[in-house]
Amino acid sequence: MWIQRSWSCVELLAFLSTVQIAAGPSYALAVALDGSLYTFGSGSNFCLGHGEQLNEFHPRAILSFKRKGIHLLRVSAGDEHVVALDSNGYVYTWGKGYCGALGHGNETDKTTPEPGEKVTVVHLGMGMRLIRLPQNLWTALRVTLPSRFVQVRERLL
């Protein structure tokens, strides 16, 4: 069987200054230059962050970030959860909390973005930075931070 695939422009995103796009298995996220976040695709596991499991056929802004004046920098899409980083270093997670994936210390699913702990950045000089991640956020956040950062993780045994 031959499947023909074609590309098309997501109309709303063509009019936004998009700085980052991330995609899960059946949904996508787009961070705009103004720090707002747009989501679309499958609403399963609450990955779109709108509080319901409805599919979105066009990009829709997560209004809770805009209302609170939160400026997002980066976002990462997992199979069943999302992690976002704001300009003040705070992490937000939502989706399926299985095995503590959201970093809140439990397995509770989150239907909308929930703030987590702050990421600590230590400036070492000569343009180098050390980023300290809370232990419960290590797995989720390591793919969210910009690749230009050097990440160091120590574990005391």
Tens-place pLDDT, residues 27-61: 999 999 999 999 999 999 999 999 999 999 999 99
What span, in angstroms and rounded, lies between the C-alpha atoms of 64 and 55? 18
Q: Structure pTM?
A: 0.75
Give whole-number Cα distances, 26 to 19, 46, 86, in Å: 21, 12, 24
Quick one: pLDDT band at residue 23, thresholds 50, 70, 90? very high
Q: Is residue 124 part of a domain?
A: no
Mean per-residue pLDDT for 131-155? Answer: 46
Strand runs (DSSP E) across 88-141, as ranges?
A: 90-95, 110-118, 120-125, 128-132
Higher pLDDT among residues 141 and 88, named by residue: 88
Residue 129 scores a pLDDT above 80 = no
The pLDDT value given to residue 151: 41
Query: What is the 3-state composition of the chain as percent helix, strand, coil, each rounded to the nearest 5?
Result: 15, 40, 45
Quick one: pLDDT band at residue 128, thresholds 50, 70, 90? low
* Residue ranges making up the domain that contains 23: 11-116
Q: Is residue 98 part of a domain?
A: yes
Q: Is residue 121 part of a domain?
A: no
Q: Is residue 153 part of a domain?
A: no
Q: Is residue 87 part of a domain?
A: yes
Query: How many domains does the chain fold into?
Result: 1
Look up the CATH number of the domain holding residue 68. Answer: 2.130.10.30
